[in-house]
Structure 1
Amino acid sequence: MRILVGCEMTYEFPQPTPVIATLNVHASRFSDLERPDYLITSPAVPLDGYRDSFGNWCQRMVAPAGTFTLKTETIVRDTGTGDRHEREATETPIEKLPSDSVLFLLGSRYCETDCLSNIAWDLFGHIPPGWSRVQAICDYVHDRITFGYEHARATRTAFDVFEEQRGVCRDYAHLAIAFCRCLNIPTRYCNGYVSDIGLPLPHAPGDFAAWMEVYLGGRWHTFDPRNNSSRIGRILIAYGRDAADVPLTLTFGANTLTNFVVTTEEAANVA
Protein backbone atom coordinates (compact mmCIF):
# COMPACT_ATOMS: atom_id res chain seq x y z
CA MET A 1 0.00 0.00 0.00
CA ARG A 2 1.20 3.52 -0.86
CA ILE A 3 0.14 6.28 1.52
CA LEU A 4 0.52 9.99 0.79
CA VAL A 5 1.40 11.91 3.95
CA GLY A 6 2.29 15.51 4.55
CA CYS A 7 1.38 18.72 6.27
CA GLU A 8 1.27 22.46 5.69
CA MET A 9 1.40 24.94 8.57
CA THR A 10 1.19 28.70 8.09
CA TYR A 11 2.05 31.22 10.79
CA GLU A 12 2.03 34.97 11.19
CA PHE A 13 5.07 36.27 13.10
CA PRO A 14 5.29 39.89 14.34
CA GLN A 15 9.09 39.74 14.31
CA PRO A 16 11.89 37.29 13.37
CA THR A 17 11.41 34.26 15.63
CA PRO A 18 13.46 31.09 16.25
CA VAL A 19 11.54 27.87 15.50
CA ILE A 20 12.28 24.15 15.94
CA ALA A 21 10.23 21.79 13.76
CA THR A 22 9.90 18.03 14.24
CA LEU A 23 7.81 17.12 11.19
CA ASN A 24 9.83 14.51 9.29
CA VAL A 25 8.97 10.81 9.29
CA HIS A 26 10.97 8.91 11.92
CA ALA A 27 14.19 7.18 10.89
CA SER A 28 12.60 3.78 11.62
CA ARG A 29 10.45 4.30 8.49
CA PHE A 30 13.13 5.73 6.18
CA SER A 31 13.34 2.55 4.12
CA ASP A 32 9.59 2.85 3.43
CA LEU A 33 9.79 6.34 1.88
CA GLU A 34 9.50 6.60 -1.91
CA ARG A 35 11.17 10.01 -1.74
CA PRO A 36 12.67 12.15 1.02
CA ASP A 37 10.13 14.20 2.96
CA TYR A 38 12.13 17.42 2.76
CA LEU A 39 10.90 20.28 4.92
CA ILE A 40 10.16 23.24 2.64
CA THR A 41 9.70 26.75 4.01
CA SER A 42 8.16 29.78 2.34
CA PRO A 43 9.91 32.13 2.26
CA ALA A 44 13.03 29.97 2.18
CA VAL A 45 15.28 30.18 5.24
CA PRO A 46 18.43 28.26 6.29
CA LEU A 47 17.69 25.01 8.16
CA ASP A 48 19.97 23.42 10.73
CA GLY A 49 19.09 19.75 11.30
CA TYR A 50 20.02 17.67 14.32
CA ARG A 51 18.94 14.55 16.21
CA ASP A 52 17.58 15.06 19.69
CA SER A 53 18.38 12.81 22.65
CA PHE A 54 15.73 10.30 21.50
CA GLY A 55 16.97 10.15 17.89
CA ASN A 56 14.16 12.24 16.42
CA TRP A 57 15.06 14.50 13.47
CA CYS A 58 14.60 18.19 14.34
CA GLN A 59 15.26 21.32 12.29
CA ARG A 60 16.09 24.77 13.60
CA MET A 61 15.40 27.97 11.73
CA VAL A 62 14.54 31.62 12.21
CA ALA A 63 11.15 32.53 10.78
CA PRO A 64 11.04 36.05 9.32
CA ALA A 65 8.40 38.57 10.33
CA GLY A 66 5.14 38.16 8.41
CA THR A 67 3.60 35.08 6.82
CA PHE A 68 5.71 31.91 7.09
CA THR A 69 4.80 28.41 5.88
CA LEU A 70 6.25 24.98 6.69
CA LYS A 71 5.45 22.11 4.34
CA THR A 72 6.47 18.48 3.94
CA GLU A 73 5.16 15.62 1.80
CA THR A 74 6.13 12.09 0.81
CA ILE A 75 4.71 8.69 -0.07
CA VAL A 76 5.18 5.88 2.45
CA ARG A 77 5.03 2.19 1.54
CA ASP A 78 3.00 0.39 4.20
CA THR A 79 2.01 -3.24 4.73
CA GLY A 80 -1.63 -2.24 5.09
CA THR A 81 -2.10 -4.74 7.90
CA GLY A 82 -2.47 -2.31 10.80
CA ASP A 83 -0.94 -2.52 14.27
CA ARG A 84 0.45 -5.89 15.35
CA HIS A 85 -1.17 -7.59 18.33
CA GLU A 86 0.89 -10.08 20.33
CA ARG A 87 -1.43 -10.97 23.18
CA GLU A 88 1.04 -13.42 24.71
CA ALA A 89 3.71 -10.71 25.17
CA THR A 90 4.91 -10.64 28.77
CA GLU A 91 6.28 -7.98 31.09
CA THR A 92 10.03 -7.87 31.68
CA PRO A 93 11.32 -7.71 35.28
CA ILE A 94 12.92 -4.34 35.98
CA GLU A 95 16.34 -5.88 36.60
CA LYS A 96 16.28 -7.46 33.12
CA LEU A 97 15.11 -4.41 31.17
CA PRO A 98 17.45 -2.90 28.57
CA SER A 99 19.10 0.17 30.05
CA ASP A 100 17.70 2.48 27.37
CA SER A 101 14.14 1.56 28.38
CA VAL A 102 14.50 2.49 32.05
CA LEU A 103 13.97 6.20 31.33
CA PHE A 104 10.43 5.33 30.25
CA LEU A 105 9.59 4.03 33.73
CA LEU A 106 10.04 7.45 35.28
CA GLY A 107 7.63 10.28 35.87
CA SER A 108 7.80 13.22 33.46
CA ARG A 109 6.29 16.66 32.80
CA TYR A 110 2.81 15.39 31.86
CA CYS A 111 2.90 11.93 33.44
CA GLU A 112 3.01 12.25 37.24
CA THR A 113 3.59 8.72 38.44
CA ASP A 114 3.79 9.89 42.05
CA CYS A 115 0.18 11.14 41.96
CA LEU A 116 -1.21 8.10 40.14
CA SER A 117 0.73 5.15 41.55
CA ASN A 118 -1.77 4.04 44.21
CA ILE A 119 -4.67 4.59 41.80
CA ALA A 120 -2.96 2.48 39.13
CA TRP A 121 -2.33 -0.44 41.46
CA ASP A 122 -5.87 -0.29 42.84
CA LEU A 123 -7.37 -0.32 39.34
CA PHE A 124 -5.05 -2.73 37.53
CA GLY A 125 -2.88 -4.54 40.07
CA HIS A 126 -5.20 -7.56 40.08
CA ILE A 127 -5.03 -8.04 36.30
CA PRO A 128 -2.50 -10.61 35.01
CA PRO A 129 0.70 -8.82 33.97
CA GLY A 130 1.57 -8.44 30.31
CA TRP A 131 -0.54 -7.59 27.28
CA SER A 132 -3.86 -8.05 29.09
CA ARG A 133 -2.92 -5.51 31.76
CA VAL A 134 -1.88 -2.87 29.21
CA GLN A 135 -5.05 -3.51 27.20
CA ALA A 136 -7.13 -3.10 30.36
CA ILE A 137 -5.47 0.28 30.90
CA CYS A 138 -6.31 1.33 27.34
CA ASP A 139 -9.90 0.13 27.73
CA TYR A 140 -10.29 2.09 30.96
CA VAL A 141 -8.83 5.32 29.55
CA HIS A 142 -10.76 4.99 26.29
CA ASP A 143 -14.05 4.51 28.14
CA ARG A 144 -13.46 7.10 30.89
CA ILE A 145 -12.30 10.09 28.83
CA THR A 146 -14.60 12.21 26.67
CA PHE A 147 -12.87 13.34 23.47
CA GLY A 148 -13.26 16.85 22.05
CA TYR A 149 -10.96 19.36 20.36
CA GLU A 150 -12.64 22.02 22.47
CA HIS A 151 -11.17 20.27 25.52
CA ALA A 152 -7.55 20.81 24.41
CA ARG A 153 -5.35 22.50 27.01
CA ALA A 154 -1.58 22.71 26.86
CA THR A 155 -1.11 22.44 30.63
CA ARG A 156 -3.33 19.38 31.27
CA THR A 157 -1.40 16.54 32.93
CA ALA A 158 -2.25 12.86 33.30
CA PHE A 159 -3.64 13.44 36.79
CA ASP A 160 -5.74 16.32 35.45
CA VAL A 161 -7.09 13.99 32.75
CA PHE A 162 -7.99 11.40 35.39
CA GLU A 163 -9.92 13.99 37.39
CA GLU A 164 -11.50 15.99 34.54
CA GLN A 165 -12.34 12.96 32.36
CA ARG A 166 -11.96 14.85 29.07
CA GLY A 167 -9.27 15.75 26.59
CA VAL A 168 -7.69 15.10 23.19
CA CYS A 169 -5.52 12.24 21.95
CA ARG A 170 -2.40 13.36 23.79
CA ASP A 171 -4.36 13.40 27.06
CA TYR A 172 -5.51 9.81 26.52
CA ALA A 173 -1.89 8.85 25.86
CA HIS A 174 -0.52 10.68 28.90
CA LEU A 175 -2.93 9.00 31.32
CA ALA A 176 -2.35 5.51 29.90
CA ILE A 177 1.43 6.08 29.87
CA ALA A 178 1.42 7.19 33.49
CA PHE A 179 -0.61 4.15 34.56
CA CYS A 180 1.77 1.78 32.74
CA ARG A 181 4.84 3.39 34.28
CA CYS A 182 3.26 3.19 37.74
CA LEU A 183 2.98 -0.58 37.13
CA ASN A 184 6.67 -0.83 36.15
CA ILE A 185 6.00 -1.17 32.39
CA PRO A 186 8.27 1.07 30.24
CA THR A 187 6.07 3.24 28.03
CA ARG A 188 6.91 6.06 25.66
CA TYR A 189 4.85 8.81 24.04
CA CYS A 190 4.57 8.82 20.22
CA ASN A 191 3.22 11.21 17.65
CA GLY A 192 2.77 10.96 13.90
CA TYR A 193 0.24 10.35 11.16
CA VAL A 194 -2.82 8.21 11.77
CA SER A 195 -5.10 7.51 8.81
CA ASP A 196 -8.67 6.30 8.59
CA ILE A 197 -7.87 3.94 5.73
CA GLY A 198 -10.13 0.88 5.88
CA LEU A 199 -12.69 2.43 8.21
CA PRO A 200 -16.32 2.63 7.07
CA LEU A 201 -17.66 5.96 5.88
CA PRO A 202 -18.43 8.51 7.07
CA HIS A 203 -15.26 9.13 9.04
CA ALA A 204 -13.00 12.05 9.84
CA PRO A 205 -9.91 12.57 7.68
CA GLY A 206 -6.56 11.30 8.92
CA ASP A 207 -4.54 13.62 11.12
CA PHE A 208 -1.55 14.01 13.37
CA ALA A 209 -2.21 12.04 16.54
CA ALA A 210 -0.64 10.73 19.72
CA TRP A 211 -0.35 7.13 20.91
CA MET A 212 2.08 5.10 22.99
CA GLU A 213 4.59 2.29 22.68
CA VAL A 214 4.93 -0.23 25.50
CA TYR A 215 7.90 -2.51 26.14
CA LEU A 216 6.63 -6.10 26.38
CA GLY A 217 8.18 -9.41 25.38
CA GLY A 218 11.51 -7.86 24.43
CA ARG A 219 10.29 -5.18 22.04
CA TRP A 220 8.12 -2.06 21.74
CA HIS A 221 4.42 -2.52 20.93
CA THR A 222 1.90 0.07 19.73
CA PHE A 223 -1.19 0.85 21.82
CA ASP A 224 -3.67 3.63 21.06
CA PRO A 225 -5.91 4.47 24.04
CA ARG A 226 -7.72 7.21 22.09
CA ASN A 227 -8.94 4.98 19.23
CA ASN A 228 -8.38 1.67 21.06
CA SER A 229 -8.22 -0.17 17.74
CA SER A 230 -5.68 -1.16 15.10
CA ARG A 231 -5.08 1.49 12.43
CA ILE A 232 -3.66 1.15 8.92
CA GLY A 233 -1.15 3.84 8.05
CA ARG A 234 0.16 4.71 11.51
CA ILE A 235 3.41 6.49 10.64
CA LEU A 236 5.73 7.59 13.43
CA ILE A 237 7.32 11.03 13.47
CA ALA A 238 8.83 11.16 16.97
CA TYR A 239 8.80 9.62 20.42
CA GLY A 240 9.81 10.82 23.87
CA ARG A 241 8.77 10.75 27.50
CA ASP A 242 5.64 12.82 26.83
CA ALA A 243 4.38 15.67 24.63
CA ALA A 244 6.86 18.13 26.12
CA ASP A 245 9.70 16.23 24.41
CA VAL A 246 8.21 16.11 20.92
CA PRO A 247 6.21 19.20 19.92
CA LEU A 248 5.61 19.33 16.17
CA THR A 249 6.79 22.93 16.24
CA LEU A 250 8.40 24.87 19.07
CA THR A 251 8.29 28.65 18.61
CA PHE A 252 10.30 31.06 20.73
CA GLY A 253 8.09 34.12 20.45
CA ALA A 254 4.61 35.41 19.72
CA ASN A 255 2.84 33.99 16.66
CA THR A 256 -0.53 33.00 15.24
CA LEU A 257 -1.18 29.71 13.45
CA THR A 258 -3.46 30.69 10.55
CA ASN A 259 -3.60 27.47 8.53
CA PHE A 260 -2.97 23.81 9.36
CA VAL A 261 -3.59 21.00 6.89
CA VAL A 262 -2.63 17.34 7.37
CA THR A 263 -2.75 14.78 4.55
CA THR A 264 -2.74 11.03 5.07
CA GLU A 265 -4.56 8.92 2.44
CA GLU A 266 -4.00 6.15 -0.05
CA ALA A 267 -1.86 7.45 -2.90
CA ALA A 268 -4.09 5.59 -5.39
CA ASN A 269 -6.97 7.89 -4.40
CA VAL A 270 -5.01 11.06 -5.12
CA ALA A 271 -5.53 12.69 -8.53
Structure 2
Amino acid sequence: MTTIQIGCDLTYSVTNPTSFLFNVAAARTGHQTISEETLQLTPNIKYEASSLGTEDIQVYRLTVEPCDLQLQYRANVDLRPEIYDTSGIVETGYSQLPSEVLPYLNPSRYCESDRLTHFALRMFGNAQPGFARVTAICDWINSNLDYQSGSTSESTSACDVLIQRVGVCRDYAHLAIALCRALCIPARYVSGYAVALQPPDFHGFFEAYLGSRWYLFDATRMAPVEGFVRIGTGRDAADASFATIIGEATLTYMAVWAEQTGLNQIPHQPLPPAGVSTIN
Protein backbone atom coordinates (compact mmCIF):
# COMPACT_ATOMS: atom_id res chain seq x y z
CA MET A 1 0.00 0.00 0.00
CA THR A 2 1.15 3.54 -0.79
CA THR A 3 -0.21 6.64 0.96
CA ILE A 4 -0.51 9.86 -1.03
CA GLN A 5 -1.23 13.25 0.52
CA ILE A 6 -3.18 15.39 -1.93
CA GLY A 7 -4.60 18.87 -1.87
CA CYS A 8 -5.58 21.97 -3.77
CA ASP A 9 -6.12 25.65 -3.01
CA LEU A 10 -8.39 27.62 -5.32
CA THR A 11 -9.25 31.32 -5.06
CA TYR A 12 -11.90 33.07 -7.16
CA SER A 13 -12.90 36.69 -7.49
CA VAL A 14 -16.70 36.52 -7.69
CA THR A 15 -18.31 39.67 -9.11
CA ASN A 16 -21.94 38.53 -9.36
CA PRO A 17 -24.04 35.79 -7.73
CA THR A 18 -22.42 32.61 -9.04
CA SER A 19 -22.96 28.86 -8.75
CA PHE A 20 -20.00 26.47 -8.58
CA LEU A 21 -19.67 22.73 -9.06
CA PHE A 22 -16.26 21.64 -7.77
CA ASN A 23 -14.85 18.28 -8.80
CA VAL A 24 -11.64 18.08 -6.75
CA ALA A 25 -12.33 15.25 -4.28
CA ALA A 26 -10.55 11.90 -4.52
CA ALA A 27 -12.79 9.05 -5.65
CA ARG A 28 -13.54 6.04 -3.47
CA THR A 29 -12.79 2.82 -5.35
CA GLY A 30 -11.67 -0.73 -4.69
CA HIS A 31 -8.02 0.28 -5.11
CA GLN A 32 -8.19 3.75 -3.61
CA THR A 33 -9.42 4.54 -0.07
CA ILE A 34 -9.46 7.83 1.84
CA SER A 35 -8.20 7.85 5.43
CA GLU A 36 -8.55 11.60 6.05
CA GLU A 37 -10.41 14.31 4.12
CA THR A 38 -11.29 17.97 4.73
CA LEU A 39 -12.90 20.75 2.73
CA GLN A 40 -12.77 24.37 3.90
CA LEU A 41 -14.49 27.32 2.25
CA THR A 42 -13.82 31.00 3.00
CA PRO A 43 -16.24 32.70 3.55
CA ASN A 44 -17.91 29.86 5.45
CA ILE A 45 -20.59 28.99 2.89
CA LYS A 46 -23.02 26.10 2.95
CA TYR A 47 -22.41 23.52 0.23
CA GLU A 48 -23.98 20.29 -1.00
CA ALA A 49 -21.83 17.17 -1.40
CA SER A 50 -23.25 14.63 -3.84
CA SER A 51 -22.40 12.01 -6.45
CA LEU A 52 -22.56 12.88 -10.12
CA GLY A 53 -23.11 10.59 -13.11
CA THR A 54 -22.83 6.84 -13.48
CA GLU A 55 -19.24 6.84 -12.16
CA ASP A 56 -20.31 8.35 -8.79
CA ILE A 57 -18.02 11.36 -9.05
CA GLN A 58 -17.94 13.25 -5.71
CA VAL A 59 -18.76 16.93 -6.26
CA TYR A 60 -19.34 20.01 -4.13
CA ARG A 61 -22.11 22.38 -5.17
CA LEU A 62 -22.61 25.91 -3.84
CA THR A 63 -23.86 29.39 -4.72
CA VAL A 64 -22.12 32.55 -3.51
CA GLU A 65 -22.66 36.29 -3.55
CA PRO A 66 -19.85 38.62 -4.74
CA CYS A 67 -16.72 37.92 -2.68
CA ASP A 68 -13.23 36.43 -2.80
CA LEU A 69 -13.98 32.71 -2.53
CA GLN A 70 -11.27 30.37 -1.25
CA LEU A 71 -11.47 26.58 -1.39
CA GLN A 72 -9.00 24.32 0.43
CA TYR A 73 -9.20 20.55 -0.07
CA ARG A 74 -6.94 18.05 1.72
CA ALA A 75 -6.94 14.24 1.79
CA ASN A 76 -4.76 11.25 2.58
CA VAL A 77 -5.35 8.48 0.07
CA ASP A 78 -4.19 4.85 0.33
CA LEU A 79 -3.45 3.25 -3.05
CA ARG A 80 -3.38 -0.50 -3.67
CA PRO A 81 -2.38 -1.03 -7.32
CA GLU A 82 -2.33 -4.49 -8.91
CA ILE A 83 0.45 -6.16 -10.88
CA TYR A 84 -0.34 -7.74 -14.25
CA ASP A 85 1.31 -9.30 -17.28
CA THR A 86 0.61 -7.03 -20.24
CA SER A 87 1.41 -9.68 -22.84
CA GLY A 88 -1.91 -11.42 -22.30
CA ILE A 89 -4.15 -8.35 -22.39
CA VAL A 90 -6.26 -8.47 -25.56
CA GLU A 91 -8.99 -6.37 -27.14
CA THR A 92 -12.65 -7.28 -26.69
CA GLY A 93 -14.84 -7.80 -29.75
CA TYR A 94 -17.75 -5.43 -30.12
CA SER A 95 -20.35 -8.13 -29.59
CA GLN A 96 -18.71 -9.08 -26.27
CA LEU A 97 -18.48 -5.58 -24.80
CA PRO A 98 -20.69 -4.91 -21.77
CA SER A 99 -23.52 -2.47 -22.46
CA GLU A 100 -22.20 0.06 -19.93
CA VAL A 101 -18.95 0.32 -21.91
CA LEU A 102 -20.52 1.03 -25.32
CA PRO A 103 -20.96 4.82 -24.81
CA TYR A 104 -17.18 5.11 -24.62
CA LEU A 105 -16.93 4.07 -28.28
CA ASN A 106 -18.92 7.09 -29.46
CA PRO A 107 -17.47 10.43 -30.58
CA SER A 108 -17.70 13.16 -27.95
CA ARG A 109 -17.18 16.92 -27.74
CA TYR A 110 -13.37 16.77 -27.59
CA CYS A 111 -12.78 13.30 -29.07
CA GLU A 112 -14.02 13.21 -32.67
CA SER A 113 -13.19 9.57 -33.27
CA ASP A 114 -15.45 9.42 -36.34
CA ARG A 115 -13.17 11.94 -38.09
CA LEU A 116 -9.99 10.00 -37.27
CA THR A 117 -10.91 6.48 -38.38
CA HIS A 118 -8.83 6.56 -41.58
CA PHE A 119 -5.79 7.98 -39.79
CA ALA A 120 -6.09 5.49 -36.90
CA LEU A 121 -6.34 2.50 -39.23
CA ARG A 122 -3.42 3.67 -41.37
CA MET A 123 -1.16 4.31 -38.38
CA PHE A 124 -2.20 1.57 -35.94
CA GLY A 125 -4.36 -0.89 -37.86
CA ASN A 126 -1.49 -3.39 -38.17
CA ALA A 127 -0.24 -3.00 -34.59
CA GLN A 128 -0.60 -5.98 -32.27
CA PRO A 129 -4.16 -5.79 -30.86
CA GLY A 130 -4.63 -5.25 -27.15
CA PHE A 131 -2.43 -3.51 -24.60
CA ALA A 132 0.37 -3.28 -27.16
CA ARG A 133 -1.78 -1.30 -29.61
CA VAL A 134 -2.84 1.24 -26.97
CA THR A 135 0.79 1.53 -25.92
CA ALA A 136 1.74 2.17 -29.56
CA ILE A 137 -0.82 4.98 -29.69
CA CYS A 138 0.68 6.52 -26.53
CA ASP A 139 4.20 6.15 -27.95
CA TRP A 140 3.25 7.90 -31.18
CA ILE A 141 1.49 10.77 -29.39
CA ASN A 142 4.40 11.21 -26.98
CA SER A 143 6.90 11.32 -29.85
CA ASN A 144 4.91 13.56 -32.20
CA LEU A 145 3.35 16.14 -29.89
CA ASP A 146 5.12 18.90 -27.98
CA TYR A 147 3.95 19.50 -24.41
CA GLN A 148 3.55 23.24 -23.94
CA SER A 149 1.58 24.91 -21.15
CA GLY A 150 -0.95 27.42 -22.41
CA SER A 151 -0.73 26.20 -26.01
CA THR A 152 -4.40 25.17 -26.22
CA SER A 153 -7.73 26.34 -24.85
CA GLU A 154 -11.00 24.89 -23.60
CA SER A 155 -12.23 24.71 -27.20
CA THR A 156 -9.29 22.59 -28.48
CA SER A 157 -10.31 19.11 -29.66
CA ALA A 158 -8.40 15.97 -30.59
CA CYS A 159 -8.45 16.89 -34.29
CA ASP A 160 -7.06 20.34 -33.48
CA VAL A 161 -4.23 18.76 -31.48
CA LEU A 162 -3.41 16.33 -34.30
CA ILE A 163 -3.04 19.25 -36.70
CA GLN A 164 -1.18 21.60 -34.34
CA ARG A 165 1.04 18.85 -32.80
CA VAL A 166 1.15 20.70 -29.46
CA GLY A 167 -0.91 20.54 -26.29
CA VAL A 168 -1.19 19.80 -22.57
CA CYS A 169 -2.17 16.66 -20.68
CA ARG A 170 -5.87 16.83 -21.48
CA ASP A 171 -5.05 17.20 -25.18
CA TYR A 172 -2.76 14.17 -25.12
CA ALA A 173 -5.52 12.18 -23.44
CA HIS A 174 -8.20 13.39 -25.85
CA LEU A 175 -6.18 12.39 -28.91
CA ALA A 176 -5.41 8.96 -27.44
CA ILE A 177 -9.07 8.42 -26.58
CA ALA A 178 -10.21 9.42 -30.07
CA LEU A 179 -7.71 7.09 -31.75
CA CYS A 180 -8.67 4.18 -29.49
CA ARG A 181 -12.38 4.69 -30.19
CA ALA A 182 -11.67 4.90 -33.92
CA LEU A 183 -10.18 1.39 -33.60
CA CYS A 184 -13.21 0.10 -31.65
CA ILE A 185 -11.39 0.21 -28.30
CA PRO A 186 -13.57 1.85 -25.63
CA ALA A 187 -11.70 4.71 -23.98
CA ARG A 188 -12.52 7.38 -21.40
CA TYR A 189 -10.98 10.43 -19.75
CA VAL A 190 -9.76 10.32 -16.13
CA SER A 191 -8.82 13.37 -14.05
CA GLY A 192 -6.78 13.30 -10.88
CA TYR A 193 -3.74 14.17 -8.82
CA ALA A 194 -0.33 12.83 -9.89
CA VAL A 195 2.78 12.23 -7.80
CA ALA A 196 6.02 13.67 -9.29
CA LEU A 197 4.18 15.79 -11.86
CA GLN A 198 6.12 18.96 -12.74
CA PRO A 199 4.80 21.55 -12.59
CA PRO A 200 2.17 20.29 -10.10
CA ASP A 201 -1.39 20.53 -11.43
CA PHE A 202 -4.51 18.51 -11.95
CA HIS A 203 -3.57 15.81 -14.47
CA GLY A 204 -5.43 14.16 -17.35
CA PHE A 205 -4.97 10.41 -17.90
CA PHE A 206 -7.14 8.03 -19.91
CA GLU A 207 -8.38 4.46 -19.66
CA ALA A 208 -8.86 1.84 -22.35
CA TYR A 209 -11.19 -1.12 -21.95
CA LEU A 210 -9.29 -4.32 -22.77
CA GLY A 211 -10.22 -7.91 -21.98
CA SER A 212 -12.79 -7.44 -19.25
CA ARG A 213 -11.62 -4.30 -17.43
CA TRP A 214 -10.25 -0.77 -17.69
CA TYR A 215 -6.49 -0.07 -17.86
CA LEU A 216 -4.91 3.29 -17.09
CA PHE A 217 -2.48 5.09 -19.46
CA ASP A 218 -0.69 8.44 -19.53
CA ALA A 219 0.32 9.53 -23.01
CA THR A 220 2.40 12.43 -21.62
CA ARG A 221 4.65 10.02 -19.63
CA MET A 222 5.07 12.87 -17.13
CA ALA A 223 3.88 10.96 -14.08
CA PRO A 224 3.92 7.29 -12.99
CA VAL A 225 0.46 5.70 -13.23
CA GLU A 226 1.01 3.93 -9.90
CA GLY A 227 1.09 7.36 -8.20
CA PHE A 228 -2.18 8.57 -9.70
CA VAL A 229 -5.10 9.51 -7.44
CA ARG A 230 -8.36 9.40 -9.34
CA ILE A 231 -10.89 12.24 -9.12
CA GLY A 232 -13.40 11.77 -11.93
CA THR A 233 -14.13 9.83 -15.09
CA GLY A 234 -16.04 10.81 -18.22
CA ARG A 235 -16.32 10.75 -22.00
CA ASP A 236 -13.77 13.58 -22.13
CA ALA A 237 -12.58 16.52 -20.00
CA ALA A 238 -15.99 18.20 -20.26
CA ASP A 239 -17.31 15.51 -17.91
CA ALA A 240 -14.41 15.82 -15.44
CA SER A 241 -13.59 19.53 -15.14
CA PHE A 242 -12.31 20.52 -11.68
CA ALA A 243 -14.73 23.49 -11.64
CA THR A 244 -17.94 24.30 -13.50
CA ILE A 245 -19.01 27.94 -13.06
CA ILE A 246 -22.42 29.46 -13.78
CA GLY A 247 -22.09 33.19 -13.28
CA GLU A 248 -19.14 35.59 -13.15
CA ALA A 249 -15.97 34.48 -11.37
CA THR A 250 -12.26 34.65 -12.19
CA LEU A 251 -9.67 32.17 -10.91
CA THR A 252 -6.96 34.28 -9.26
CA TYR A 253 -4.89 31.58 -7.52
CA MET A 254 -4.45 27.81 -7.83
CA ALA A 255 -2.10 25.34 -6.15
CA VAL A 256 -2.30 21.56 -6.56
CA TRP A 257 -0.09 18.85 -5.06
CA ALA A 258 0.31 15.11 -4.55
CA GLU A 259 3.08 13.86 -2.27
CA GLN A 260 3.92 10.36 -1.15
CA THR A 261 3.97 9.76 2.61
CA GLY A 262 3.97 5.92 2.73
CA LEU A 263 6.93 3.52 2.77
CA ASN A 264 6.62 2.02 -0.72
CA GLN A 265 8.48 4.50 -2.84
CA ILE A 266 7.05 5.56 -6.19
CA PRO A 267 9.78 6.43 -8.71
CA HIS A 268 9.97 10.11 -9.65
CA GLN A 269 10.46 9.11 -13.28
CA PRO A 270 7.46 7.54 -15.06
CA LEU A 271 7.67 3.81 -15.60
CA PRO A 272 6.83 2.26 -18.96
CA PRO A 273 3.05 1.64 -19.21
CA ALA A 274 3.34 -1.96 -18.07
CA GLY A 275 3.35 -3.82 -14.80
CA VAL A 276 0.85 -1.78 -12.78
CA SER A 277 -2.88 -1.84 -13.34
CA THR A 278 -5.35 0.98 -13.27
CA ILE A 279 -6.29 2.20 -9.80
CA ASN A 280 -10.01 1.80 -10.31
Counterpart in the other structure of 1:60: 61
Which one of 229, 237, 243 corresponds to residue 237 of structure 2?
Answer: 243
Q: Is the 8 A contact 2:195 2:223 kept in 1?
A: no
Counterpart in the other structure of 1:213: 207
Counterpart in the other structure of 2:192: 192
Unpaired runs of at least 5, structure 1: 197-202
Q: Is the 8 A contact 2:198 2:222 kept in 1?
A: no
Shift of 1:228: 6.8
Cα distance in 2 between the residues matched to 1:85 and 1:150: 37
Cα distance in 1 between the residues matched to 2:32 and 2:14: 36
Are 1:171 and 2:165 counterparts? no
Q: Deviations over 1:172-216 (max 9, x none)?
A: 0000000000000010100000111xxxxxx73543100101111
Alignment-mate amino acid for residue 41 of structure 2? T
SS, match of residue 121 in structure 1: helix
Shift of 1:59: 1.9
Cα distance in 2 between the residues matched to 1:85 and 1:28: 22
SS, match of residue 86 in structure 2: coil
Counterpart in the other structure of 2:86: 86
Counterpart in the other structure of 2:260: 266
Q: Is the 8 A contact 1:195 1:205 kept in 2?
A: no
Q: Is the 8 A contact 2:51 2:57 kept in 1?
A: yes
Cα distance in 2 between the residues matched to 1:84 and 1:71: 36
Cα distance in 2 between the residues matched to 1:48 and 1:259: 23
Q: Is the 8 A contact 2:90 2:130 kept in 1?
A: yes
TM-aligned CA distance change 1:84 to 1:259, over 3 Å: farther
Cα distance in 2 between the residues matched to 1:182 and 1:231: 24
Q: Is the 8 A contact 1:206 1:265 kept in 2?
A: no
Counterpart in the other structure of 1:199: none
Counterpart in the other structure of 2:135: 135
Cα distance in 2 between the residues matched to 1:230 and 1:31: 16
Cα distance in 1 between the residues matched to 2:133 and 2:154: 29
Superposed, which structure 2 residues align to 1:55-134 within 5 Å? 55-79=56-80, 86-134=86-134
Shift of 1:32: 2.2
Shift of 1:267: 2.8
Which one of 246, 251, 275 corresponds to residue 252 of structure 1?
Answer: 246
Give the number of equivalent residue pairs. 261
Q: Deviations over 1:7-37 (max 9, x none)?
A: 01000011220111111111216862111x2
Q: Is the 8 A contact 1:82 1:232 kept in 2?
A: no
Q: Deviations over 1:225-247 (max 9, x none)?
A: 01177434200000000011111
Counterpart in the other structure of 2:51: 51
Q: Is the 8 A contact 1:169 1:226 kept in 2?
A: yes
Q: Is the 8 A contact 1:138 1:228 kept in 2?
A: no
Q: 233-242 vs 39-48, which deviates more?
A: 39-48
SS, match of residue 49 in structure 2: strand
Shift of 1:70: 1.2
Identity %: 33
Cα distance in 2 between the residues matched to 1:15 and 1:64: 6
The TM-score with structure 1 as length reference comes to 0.90
Cα distance in 1 between the residues matched to 2:66 and 2:74: 25
TM-aligned CA distance change 1:45 to 1:84, over 3 Å: farther
Unpaired runs of at least 5, structure 2: 264-280
Which one of 205, 213, 219 corresponds to residue 225 of structure 1?
Answer: 219
SS, match of residue 92 in structure 2: coil
Q: Is the 8 A contact 2:32 2:229 kept in 1?
A: no
